Structure 1
């Protein structure tokens, strides 16, 4: 391949056959003075990748390369880079690659809420270039969104922290998760299982919520103190009435959540924070008086500051998320897409073996 003008990736080229992506080549974005080039070594598979590749979220770009849980090595630094990165550093890139970095939100560690937010793939930069993601040989990103990764965290376990991990960590922090607090995690999957691990590491008493009993054993192994099967356990709203300080909604579907029941277990001034990003036509439904005394909000990703905090906590407390490795490539990505769509994973995939699919010249 001709680097850096062109990168290689595994992209969706047939929108009607999105579960069978192909090896593609595409132009890199223009290199700017604060950009960093990264040679990718691993990339986590996020539910957002499936939603975008399948068309759940609307238009897909041609040769769409998804992936926003990137781990790799710095191979080039722009002349105006000042974050202390060095050639050869192991770094991560999450689901955001640009913002204005000048507005009040950006200046107060709220980059994900900047109006000039650019996602890692399938969105246009101001100059019109369409971002491409991490199922690829390389990625080129502004240094602000390039995060040093502690060497103590294995690469395949570090990757899912860059989106799934930070997506649940940020609302836990902002919601007030701390020693002595009672925290609920609703939906025990790729993000929810990390929510249990993180909330427990932050000192909270953790309540795991799932519709059925089949996640009980895993939830307790992850560190949950309580498990509630909402469709099978009678009287749970009375048993846990007025118990929780914070609740994070990690389920993949809002339509399958009975918010009116969940509100009953919250304390007055308790916070329910959703990180759900389901299909476009789904809605959160609640009875008009159901929200009395309870705050409900949505959270999006997390800031650079929060990502650094999360990685430090994971390294310091030796937190091990549950990850299955798959080799990157047409077959590996296809398997990830198909199994993720079926929910056949406990609880995250990380794509590896990038040096084999994208060999150096």
Structure 2
């Protein structure tokens, strides 16, 4: 354990306008007290940018407790560790934390005891959330982060930090539903929305051994990239005429990353084979498009959802990425340019995930 001689500071959103590139650097007002047994303090070197950051900054999913510091794809060095931390984490280790910072872990919690901590009703998000003691969680657009060790991962040596950070939320958001729904040999898999999330889905589906991987996006401008990521086929829903009819009943599993109430959901569902599965991971700020019951009844298909993944599965994913030598497509920005980075992210300029680099900690 090391004594604390550092400050918890970062880019603060002080109102909905902060999503317009108006975050301000400052101190965190209500940091969680250090648990001498279980906590880890991380000196942040890298933090991925996720769409959730923008939703939260503008209070898109509900009122945000300002001031908030977003960022939940955090990688850095452990600089202070509790006496009873899990996983043998030591000062100096390269570690990371994703979108979840805490859960109750109580013996009577069905979710925690089943290894489904991400579905615990008493979970704490990595930013803009409150701990039971009244303190708040602050994210990774910052210098330091504090997290209970159960949700801290050691980063495999083979994965560069700028690639490891986006895996901790974006990566697991696609790995978990693919793995949990049988992606592998004998399966034909579609990934809808090949952006920051979807590009992980294409690479993971291929690496998991799916017989066929189809990237699905609006326009043809990403086709070459998506085929290089490993897709066998590409569908452009705004450019390809009669795409839903032409590709009907062709896929066993679809993972949808799109967060728009205007997406052609009924057309997407046509792509499923009999007994197929559609998993929604994109979270619109308002609602999903209308759909009819016959979209499910006629072919006996399932419609489900998925949210990140538990710590054990994040570790499994990291080891899988290292073993298969998967290379996410990452752009880097200096941490001091975080306001520009979120604007570029919102404008769709990321190809395909952005990591902020805190150069003073390299």
What TM-score, normalized to structure 2? Answer: 0.93
Deviations 1:152-196 (A, max 9, x none): 101101110000000011000111101221000000100001110
Match of 1:336 in 2: 341
- How far off its partner does 1:16 sit? 2.8
Match of 1:21 in 2: 23
Match of 1:231 in 2: 238
Q: What is the rounded CA distance, in whole Å, between the counterparts of 1:249 and 1:302 in structure 2?
A: 16
Count of residues in correspondence between the two structures: 352
Of 276, 288, 297, 1:283 maps to 288
Match of 1:153 in 2: 159
Match of 1:346 in 2: 351
Moved over 3 A (4+): 2-6
Q: What is the rounded CA distance, in whole Å, between the counterparts of 1:61 and 1:105 in structure 2?
A: 26
Match of 2:40 in 1: 36
Of 293, 298, 308, 2:305 maps to 298
Q: 1:143-182 maps to which residues of 2 (within 5 A)?
A: 143-182=149-188
Q: What is the rounded CA distance, in whole Å, between the counterparts of 1:260 and 1:298 in structure 2?
A: 16
Match of 1:88 in 2: 92
Is residue 208–residue 219 contact of structure 1 (8 Å, CA) maintained in 2? yes
Q: What is the rounded CA distance, in whole Å, between the counterparts of 1:128 and 1:16 in structure 2?
A: 26
Match of 1:8 in 2: 9
Q: What is the rounded CA distance, in whole Å, between the counterparts of 1:333 and 1:288 in structure 2?
A: 44
- How far off its partner does 1:14 sit? 4.6
Residue 319 of structure 1 aligns to a residue whose secondary structure is coil
Deviations 1:108-146 (A, max 9, x none): 221111101110001111111111101111111111100
- Structure 1, unmatched stretches of 5+, are none
CA RMSD of aligned residues (A): 1.7
Is residue 143–residue 358 contact of structure 2 (8 Å, CA) maintained in 1? no
Q: What is the rounded CA distance, in whole Å, between the counterparts of 2:244 and 2:133 in structure 1?
A: 52
- Structure 2, unmatched stretches of 5+, are none
Match of 1:140 in 2: 146
